[in-house]
Amino acid sequence: GAGVSQSPSNKVTEKGKDVELRCDPISGHTALYWYRQSLGQGLEFLIYFQGNSAPDKSGLPSDRFSAERTGGSVSTLTIQRTQQEDSAVYLCASSFRDRHEQYFGPGTRLTVT
């Protein structure tokens, strides 16, 4: 079956520009997560959506980062006024409600020049 998909796979942007990263979760999964992975590092939690509940935004590093989830499915992570330290792989994961096991997409590699 179809897994989590993310687009674009790679994004190069200039410092100061805004970027949008997209995630399509597995059909039927009500929970969606965004993580960030810097080079050679582990994954850092950013934000969590569960159904119609208010999202857990506790991992967002600054107010330049925001995310939304439309219709309980597709999610978009937006980074405004990108900085070089934003360069990383952004990973999306989804899961069934009340389940810990998360399924990851291939990620979007963001490079800020």
Partner 1 sequence: GESVGLHLPTLSVQEGDNSIINCAYSNSASDYFIWYKQESGKGPQFIIDIRSNMDKRQGQRVTVLLNKTVKHLSLQIAATQPGDSAVYFCAESGMDSSYKLIFGSGTRLLVRP
Residues that bind partner 1 (CB under 8 A): 4, 31, 33, 35, 40-45, 48, 50, 56, 58-59, 91, 93, 95, 98-107
In angstroms, give the least distance from the CB of 14 to partner 1.
24
In angstroms, give the least distance from the CB of 48 to partner 1.
5
In angstroms, give the least distance from the CB of 113 to partner 1.
21
- Who's near 63: CB < 8 A, 6+ residues apart? none
Helix (H) or strand (E) holding 24: strand 19-24
Cβ 85 vs Cβ 79: under 8 Å: no
CB-wise, 18 or 85, nearer to partner 1?
85
Cβ 17 vs Cβ 82: under 8 Å: yes
